[in-house]
C-alpha cells in the first residue's frame, strides 16, 4: 500500500491542525498516521501526516499543487513524498567496513526503504564488498598526508565526488565512516541530505580518534551520533544517538569494538527516519517523529 507523507513546520498558532485536517477531509483522504510537536520557546509547530494514497482522488503532484496554498497560508515549509517511489542514496566510504556491511545487508533484506545507486570510496579496500552486492563502486583517491599538492588534490577529488553524487540526485548522501571532512560548499549543496555517523556521543570528543580521547578521559559511557553534515565539523543537527557502558578495564581497542555496534544501529535508525521523512530540521536541532 502506497502512502503520501506530508511534513510541515510553521509559526505556531491556533487552528493549524484543524486547517490541515479540514483540507484532507475535503479530499476524502484517509489519515493513517499523524504526529505533532509545538516548540513553545521557538514558537514553531511541526507535524507529519501520512495518508493512504488510494484514498486521494489524484496523484502526488496534484496533491502538492493543492496543498501549497495551505502551507503558504500557514507560513510554513513543507514537503510531500510518495512512499511508492523508492528513495535513492549514495554511500561514501573509506576502509572501515562495519557500517557499509550493515547498510547493504539491510537493503538486501528489504529492511531499509532505499535504492543504493553507487558507493564511492577514497580507497579500494571495500570494492569487493560492494561488488558482491552488485553495486557500482567508484574509486576517488585522495592525496596522502605530506604530499605538497595535497590541498589542490583534495579539491579535485571532492569535485569528482560531487559530479558522481549529483548525477544520481540522491535523497541521502551517507558518510558511512568516510574519514574525509566535506568542504563547506558541499555541506551547503547537500544540506539536509548529507548524513554522517560520528563515533562519539557528541558534543563530547569531536574530531579524530574519539574512542582514544574517551579512553584517556576515563569515561564510563561511549556512544555514537548520527547527524547532518554541516560546515561546522561534527556540529550539525543530530538525528539519533546511543551509548554503551564501559569501565576501567576496557582498552581503547575494546571501546572501538563496542562502539562499532552502536555506530551500526545509530546510523541505520537515523537513515531510516530520514528516508521516511520523520526528521524535520529546525536550525541546529531536529524534530524526529519516530
Instruction: Enter the C-alpha cell of residue 127.
Output: 570494492
CB 11 within 8 A of CB 64: no
Select from 157, 206, 204 the least CA-distant residue to 182. 157
Select from 98, 92, 103, 91 the least CA-distant residue to 268. 103
- Positions annotated as catalytic residues are 234
What angle do the packed helices 210-217 and 252-275 form, to 10 degrees?
A: 130
Q: Which residues pair with 280 in a beta bridge?
A: 287
Select from 111, 122, 112, 118 the least CA-distant residue to 134. 118
Residue position matching grid coordinates 582514544 = 212
CB 126 within 8 A of CB 97: yes
* Chain centroid, CA 209 distance in Å: 22
Amino acid at each position: 500500500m502506497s502512502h503520501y507523507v506530508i511534513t510541515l513546520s510553521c509559526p505556531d498558532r491556533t487552528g493549524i491542525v484543524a486547517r490541515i485536517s479540514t483540507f484532507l477531509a475535503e479530499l476524502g483522504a484517509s489519515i493513517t498516521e499523524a504526529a505533532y510537536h509545538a516548540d513553545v520557546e521557538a514558537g514553531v509547530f511541526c507535524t507529519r501526516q501520512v495518508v493512504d494514497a488510494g484514498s486521494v482522488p489524484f496523484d502526488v503532484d496534484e496533491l502538492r499543487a493543492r496543498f501549497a496554498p495551505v502551507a503558504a497560508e500557514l507560513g510554513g515549509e513543507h514537503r510531500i513524498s510518495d512512499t511508492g517511489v523508492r528513495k535513492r542514496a549514495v554511500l561514501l566510504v573509506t576502509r572501515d567496513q562495519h557500517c557499509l556491511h550493515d547498510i547493504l545487508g539491510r537493503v538486501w533484506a528489504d529492511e531499509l526503504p532505499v535504492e543504493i545507486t553507487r558507493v564511492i570510496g577514497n580507497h579500494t579496500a571495500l570494492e569487493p564488498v560492494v561488488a558482491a552486492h552488485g553495486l557500482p563502486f567508484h574509486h576517488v583517491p585522495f592525496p596522502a598526508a605530506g604530499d605538497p599538492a595535497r590541498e589542490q588534490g583534495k579539491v579535485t577529488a571532492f569535485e569528482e565526488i560531487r559530479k558522481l553524487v549529483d548525477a544520481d540526485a540522491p535523497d541521502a548522501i551517507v558518510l558511512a565512516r568516510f574519514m574525509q571532512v566535506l568542504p563547506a560548499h558541499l555541506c551547503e549543496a547537500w544540506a539536509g541530505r548529507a548524513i554522517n555517523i560520528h563515533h562519539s556521543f557528541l558534543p563530547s570528543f569531536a574530531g579524530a580518534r574519539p574512542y582514544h580521547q574517551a579512553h584517556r578521559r576515563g569515561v564510563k559511557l561511549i556512544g555514537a551520533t548520527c547527524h547532518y553534515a554541516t560546515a561546522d565539523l561534527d556540529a550539525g543537527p543530530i538525528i539519533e544517538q546511543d551509548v554503551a557502558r564501559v569501565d576501567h578495564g576496557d582498552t581503547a581497542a575494546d571501546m572501538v569494538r563496542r562502539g562499532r555496534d552502536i555506530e551500526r544501529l545509530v546510523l541505520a535508525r537515523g537513515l531510516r527516519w530520514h528516508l521516511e521523512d520523520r526528521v524535520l530540521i529546525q536550525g541546529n536541532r531536529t524534530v524526529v517523529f519516530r
